[in-house]
Structures are given as structure tokens and as C-alpha cells.
Structure 1
Amino acid sequence: MSDTVIADEQVQLVDARNRPCGSTSRVTLRRLGCWHRATYIVVRNPAGELCVQTRTLIKETHPGWYDLAAGGVVGAGEAALPAARRELEEELGIRRVPLVALGEFRFVDGALRIYGSLYGVRYAGPLRLQPEEVAAIRWLAPSAALALEHATPDTRVALELALRQDGW
């Protein structure tokens, strides 16, 4: 997907109480610091290790950093679960797997204002990385993933919440 297509993508806007209130382009969302929804999917293998993604250097925010969860912005009119399934397939090529709902959280960092929907999945199959977004992956123990210095702050919060859930 080209940068122009991503910038023009319509995303769901919400108010400070997470109520839908319209949509806008991704570029306007970033410029104005609007509240929006995003999904986070923690992927673990049978050994309990986490799939940690290295972001490409062309990412709009935190290029080259680590994502501790897959996921992304919820599109205009899209519900969280279908958005999570879409993002998981786009980024890692994982499809038709049961996602476990692990909770929701609110994240604010400067102009970034997100209502996150968190899911978990156990997965042992092959991965197909999205070249525009994922430069590489590695499997790490949860403690090693949380110790990474350049992990994106929103995925760090998502992982910490996931690890507080029984069995994750």
C-alpha cells in the first residue's frame, strides 16, 4: 500500500468518551491529534514467546522501532474485531484464527489519542510480512520484549495489559 493511499485512508473518529463522531483522513487525524480507535493483537507461539515486529524505516511514527503487538487504526465505519482480523492478516499473513478479547484501554501520548481494543492469539504457522510496515520479526520471551528500549509506547501498554490477563 502506498503512502498516498494510507494518508487518504478514512479512519473512525471518536470523542473523548469513545463515541463515534465522524471520520477523517489519516493525515488529518495525525495533524489535529484526534481521538480514534486502534486494535492491538498480541501474537504468541506455543512456547509462549511473543511476535515482535521491527517497523520499517518509512513508518510515519517511530520508524525502525519495535511493535510488541500487531494492529492498527480502525477504519471509518469498521468495528474493532473485523479491524483486528484485517490488520493481523495484512501485517503478518495470519488469517482464520480465533482471537481472544483481552480488554480495552485508553492511550494518550502528546497529540496521539487512542482507544485501544486488545486481542490475543496463539499461532504456530508461517508468517507473511507486509513489506511496507514490517521489516522483520523475532520471537521473544515477554520479559525480553518489555525490556526493549525502542518499543512503541502504545504497544508496550497493550502488552502489559495482555500479560495481566490469565493465560497470556
Structure 2
Amino acid sequence: MSADASLPEPPAEPHVADEQIQLVDARNRPCGSAPRAAMRRFRFWHRATYVVVRNRRGELCVQRRTLTKEVFPGGLDLAAGGVVGAGEAVHVAARRELAEELGIRGVPLRHLGGFVHDAGGNHIFGSLFLVDHDGPLTLQVEEVAEAFWLSPHQALVLEGVTPDTRQAVEALLAGGELEAGR
């Protein structure tokens, strides 16, 4: 028997569909949790984060979703982010998603409010964040196929932009948050 045979097996990673998601009611009040698969199937209200990444030229980081993504496979995201886990604060979820998807860590996030996305069977209370970043990106191969930079207006006219991230960027534009120098 080798020395390695006596070591315990590391715990298995939870399957994404089993991940517990924070559920909320139609007023954004926590009301329990459910596995991600049930949240999608029953179209429960939930929270999600949207972190718009901007470089010093005012361009946004546009990410192409992998073809294996459950929702909008191959689509274009104008923000990093995702659903908020059960009991997780939105700012913690935003930092986690930004680090996972784009490898961006240790940068200040500006929380710029939120929006409601209630379309296409999705019932989301979105929390909006903005981060300025000119450093390298490390893409999460399971979720992000490629990333590139475009002005907000160029990004919004692309075919295949996910409707929730489109709404997030439109909200930031309407609030003047993506103007040069801000």
C-alpha cells in the first residue's frame, strides 16, 4: 500500500445545478433557498450581481459565454457576475464572480444600485457594480470563451447580447455612470 492510499479523498465539488441559491419574494425579501436547477425550472425570484468592467479608455469588457452555459450559451455578456448564493451578501457574490470569471481581484467595486429584470422567464433583482481595470484578464474556461473591449454604445448594438446584462449597461448609461471621466 502506498503512502498516498491512506489519505482521505478530497470532498467532491458540488454540481452547479445543486448549488443553493438565495430566493427572494417579489419585493426582494429573502424567503429561502433552492438548488440552482429548481430556481431555473420554477422561475423563482432571486438575486444576481452585474459587475461592469471598464478600462481607462472607457471601453467595456465584453465576454462571450461558452457553449456549455445553461442560459444563453454562446451569448455575449456586458458584465461579469451571476446568481447570489444562499445567505451570501451581494457585494461578496460580486467579488467572487469577478475573480472567478475574469481573474480580477483586489480592485475597488463601486455599487451603483440595482434594477429588476423580469423577462424571458427570469425574475431577477440585479445589483449593479462598476470596476475600473486595465490589467490582465484570466478567463474561467468553463464560463468565458473570449473577452474583448468595446465602447458601451458599440457593445449595446452587438447581436446576441444577454438581455439582463444589456439592461444593466443601459441603466448605467441612463444614470450617467459610464460617461468619460466618471
* TM-score, normalization by structure 1: 0.96
Number of paired residues?
167
Where structure 1 has 5 or more consecutive residues not aligned to the other structure, the ranges are none
Structure 2 CA distance, aligned partners of 1:56 and 1:107? 22
Structure 2 CA distance, aligned partners of 1:137 and 1:14? 32
Aligned partners of 1:69 and 1:155 also within 8 Å = yes
Mapped pair 1:133 → 2:143: yes
Mapped pair 1:106 → 2:129: no
Deviation at 1:111, TM superposition (A): 1.9
Deviations 1:79-113 (CA, angstroms, capped at 9, x unpaired): 10000000000000001110011111111113210
Indicate the structure (1 or 2) with the bigger Cα radius of gyration.
2
Q: How does 1:15-164 map to 2 (within 5 A)?
A: 15-164=25-174
Structure 1 CA distance, aligned partners of 2:67 and 2:33? 27
What letter corresponds to residue 18 of structure 1 in structure 2? N
Aligned partners of 1:59 and 1:133 also within 8 Å = yes
Name the Cα RMSD after superposition: 1.4
* TM-score, normalization by structure 2: 0.89
Cα 1:111–1:4 change in 2 (3 A) is farther
Deviation at 1:46, TM superposition (A): 0.5
Query: SS in structure 1 opposite 2:16?
Result: helix
Where structure 2 has 5 or more consecutive residues not aligned to the other structure, the ranges are 1-11
Structure 2 CA distance, aligned partners of 1:29 and 1:166? 33
Query: SS in structure 2 opposite 1:84?
Result: helix
Structure of greater relative contact order (alpha carbons < 8 Å, 6+ residues apart)? 1
What letter corresponds to residue 75 of structure 1 in structure 2? G
Deviation at 1:165, TM superposition (A): 3.0
Aligned partners of 1:102 and 1:165 also within 8 Å = no
Deviations 1:14-40 (CA, angstroms, capped at 9, x unpaired): 000000000000000000000000000
Cα 1:93–1:32 change in 2 (3 A) is same
Deviation at 1:3, TM superposition (A): 10
Divergent runs of 4+, >6 A: none
Structure 2 CA distance, aligned partners of 1:37 and 1:167? 22
Mapped pair 1:6 → 2:36: no
